[in-house]
Amino acid sequence: MPNAFPFSASPFDCLNKQEQRLVADSVDIAYFKQGEIILDIGSTPTHLFVIIKGFVRQYENDEELAVYGPDDAFDGRGLMAGKVSSQFIAAEEVIAYQLAKATVRELISDNATFGALIFADLSNKLNALAKRRSQYEMNSLSLAQVSQAFLRPVNIVDAKTSIYEAVEIFQKHRTTSVLVREGAREGAGLGIFTTTTLQKALLANLPIQSTPIGPLSIYELITVQANDHLYEALATMIRHSVHRVVVMDGSEVMGILEQVDLLSFIANSSSLVAQKIFQATTLDDLRLPAEQITNLISLLHRNGTKVGMIARLVQELNAKLFERAWTLIASPELFEHSCLFVMGSEGRGEQILKTDQDNGLILSNDYPITQEVINACEQFSLALTSFGYPECPGRIMVNNADWRMSESEFSSTSKNWLLNPTPESLMNLAIFLDAHAVCGDIQLLKIVKEGLFDLINDNQILLARFTSAIESISSEVGWWNRLLTLSGEHSENRINLKKAGIFAIVHGVRSLALENHIWANSTEGRVHELVKKNKIPKDLANDVIESLHVLMGLKLDSGLAELETGKPVSGEVNMSALSSLERDLLKDSLNVVKSFKLFLHQHFRLDFA
């Protein structure tokens, strides 16, 4: 066997050395001409194929299901079932490894993860991957850098500063230390005066008004660099028996890392972000936690936190951020007589990285929309933009009068979207159905939504028209061709996962939720409620949720990579950058999307809509 067998590619990357030797001793090379049928429907397979060169197309009922390229394996499911259910044709000249059925069976019996990745359904495949990750994942702290933790601002004072003046700084800046410059010259060395030193001075009965802190300070600073790992900072604290270290960026002082902040970071990084939001007294104070939400996302994702959990956490942090901003902007009366809400992926709790603002404001019927209200909404939208949330191209924002109305006006408008459907009104309805109250009088939003649900009452024609957007939104025709290019190794293929699969899942579930008067906002929550009402098969429901999370995870990977290289988040994924495992999961997920769309077609009779 050539030495190039792809043991680093899925599913062979989970094999141990002994299992790899079994593969090496059993594998052969197969060659197929362009257009040749490699496996036909109903045939009995004898080998598992792993492509070395070329591409293979999979067909079922004359419809192309998938394209396989280098390092991809097929047809594990047919091999285990004893019969092929699809047709596999060489799209061009194909050279492949072939592994005998007996060898594959032996690998499956010895390695459950390998078996799951070869022929299990998407849900079991993801469960196997989760177990494997739990065995090999590194703790997030080993990846996190000092700069990602909460650093306290530096206060540098002259050595002649009195103890009393130092204590005033402690109280004013809520800190437990000040750095002390030894002498008046700029380049003089720095020392540190802490609450521990203060206690010693008080026990020595020193006059605090007149005693300078210079002679009491320690001038051998314990420092770490901003790009050091947090484990190193913790080890330094333990080694020197100190509760804080000075963080340096090269030769420049960046801040102070307190042991309590480091331990809080270990316990729950999100609590620090939430604390900063809660303590903000100005809009400027909110800019840093808004930025740190993205840093937290990156850290959690690298640590293997499930994408659904990250999205839920981000929804809560964003809600706190928006609520604090609105509290700082709106008068108490406006706050009390209005409901600020978010919509779209933010409303469903499925937005992870910052995307367009989607928000609105409902006011009590007895509270007029004055210039004060208009100014507050304008200021809020500008604040979110400054926090890194781009303006919505469609201006679905509180600074747009169309999304800033009284409760009665909103009720009338939303009902009109439903009763007089146009492409634009149905889009507005879809966005509004995901509305989630952030703060204020949340009953205002509930009243408007209740009015919408009361109008549905088995209007299947309207529901079918609403659901049919799952077809019109997609422009990923022939996406299998984009998944693996046949035109050259280095061409970049990009796919919009929202159009290819996410929207069909989200909107299809949203349509079922509307039909069944389900109040849950998240797609996952709606699916669980639909299962309880026996409105969707349980197996399909599980696969739909898993597929959504796979697509969201791939989209997040791509978005973080774009941010790290200074590019705006595009929402697209570069197919050529995906691993064989990621391509496999993407294929499985989009096949689930296909099955779900078929279910929706049959349920809502979309072919007759």
Residue pLDDT, tens place only, 49-77: 999 999 999 888 777 777 888 888 888 88
Give the phi and the psi of residue 44 in degrees, each rounded to 5: -100, 110
- CA gyration radius, the chain: 30
- Let me know whether 375 and 503 are in one domain: no
Amino acid 129: pLDDT: 58
In this structure, which amino acid lies at residue 80? M
For residue 229, the cross-strand partners are 145
Q: Is the pLDDT of residue 303 over 70?
A: no
Give the CATH number, domain containing residue 115: 2.60.120.10
Identify the weakest region by mean pLDDT among 8-17, 217-226, 230-239, 309-318. 230-239
For residue 494, the cross-strand partners are 574
C-alpha dihedral sign at 350, 352, 353, 358? positive
Residue pLDDT, tens place only, 444-467: 999 999 988 888 776 788 888 889
Cα–Cα distance measured from residue 299 to residue 547, given in angstroms and rounded to the nearest whole number: 23
292: in domain: yes
- Let me know whether 226 and 112 are in one domain: no
5: in domain: no
Q: Is the pLDDT of residue 130 over 90?
A: no
Cα–Cα distance measured from residue 9 to residue 5, given in angstroms and rounded to the nearest whole number: 9
- Let me know whether 473 and 571 are in one domain: yes
pLDDT band at 343 (very low <50, low <70, confident <90, very high): very high
366: in domain: yes
Give the CATH number, domain containing residue 392: 3.30.460.10
pLDDT band at 477 (very low <50, low <70, confident <90, very high): very low
Last residue of some domain: 269, 299, 314?
269
Residue pLDDT, tens place only, 241-292: 788 899 999 988 999 998 777 766 655 556 667 778 888 899 999 998 898 8
pLDDT band at 340 (very low <50, low <70, confident <90, very high): very high
C-alpha dihedral sign at 196, 202, 204, 210? positive
Give the pLDDT mean for 521-534: 95
Give the pLDDT mean for 12-35: 90
Amino acid 140: pLDDT: 47
Cα–Cα distance measured from residue 285 to residue 278, given in angstroms and rounded to the nearest whole number: 10
- Let me know whether 291 and 204 are in one domain: no
- Let me know whether 415 and 329 are in one domain: yes
- Let me know whether 410 and 504 are in one domain: no
pLDDT band at 138 (very low <50, low <70, confident <90, very high): very low
- Let me know whether 561 and 480 are in one domain: yes
Q: Is 21 exposed, middle or buried (0-12, 13-18, 19+ CB in 10 A)?
A: exposed
Cβ–Cβ < 8 Å for 159, 188 = no
170: in domain: yes
Cβ–Cβ < 8 Å for 90, 54 = yes
- Let me know whether 451 and 308 are in one domain: yes
Respond yes or no on whether the N-terminal peptide bond of residue 284 is cis (omega within 30° of 0): no
461: in domain: no
Q: Is the pLDDT of residue 379 over 50?
A: yes
- pTM more than 0.85: no
**Domain extent at residue 470:** 466-608
227: in domain: yes
173: in domain: yes
Q: Is the pLDDT of residue 146 over 80?
A: yes
Q: Tokens 């109040």 — which residue?
A: 519
Contacts of 403 (CB under 8 A, 6+ apart): 359, 360, 361, 395, 396, 397
Return the higher-pLDDT residue of 236 and 94.
94
Give me the number of domains the chain comprises.
4
For residue 249, the cross-strand partners are 252
Give the phi and the psi of residue 210 in degrees, each rounded to 5: -115, -15
Give the CATH number, domain containing residue 474: 1.20.120
For residue 250 the two structure tokens come to: 């090269």
- Let me know whether 302 and 446 are in one domain: yes
- Let me know whether 67 and 190 are in one domain: no
Residue pLDDT, tens place only, 554-589: 999 888 888 877 788 888 888 877 877 788 888 889
- Let me know whether 64 and 167 are in one domain: no
- Let me know whether 260 and 286 are in one domain: no
Give the CATH number, domain containing residue 252: 3.10.580.10
Cα–Cα distance measured from residue 596 to residue 509, given in angstroms and rounded to the nearest whole number: 9
Last residue of some domain: 269, 293, 322?
269
Last residue of some domain: 424, 456, 488?
456
2: in domain: no
For residue 364 the two structure tokens come to: 């009590």
Residue pLDDT, tens place only, 189-233: 789 999 888 988 888 899 989 999 999 998 888 999 998 887 678
Give the pLDDT mean for 497-505: 91
Cα–Cα distance measured from residue 324 to residue 87, given in angstroms and rounded to the nearest whole number: 58
C-alpha pair distances (Å), 420 with each of 175, 395, 417: 60, 22, 6
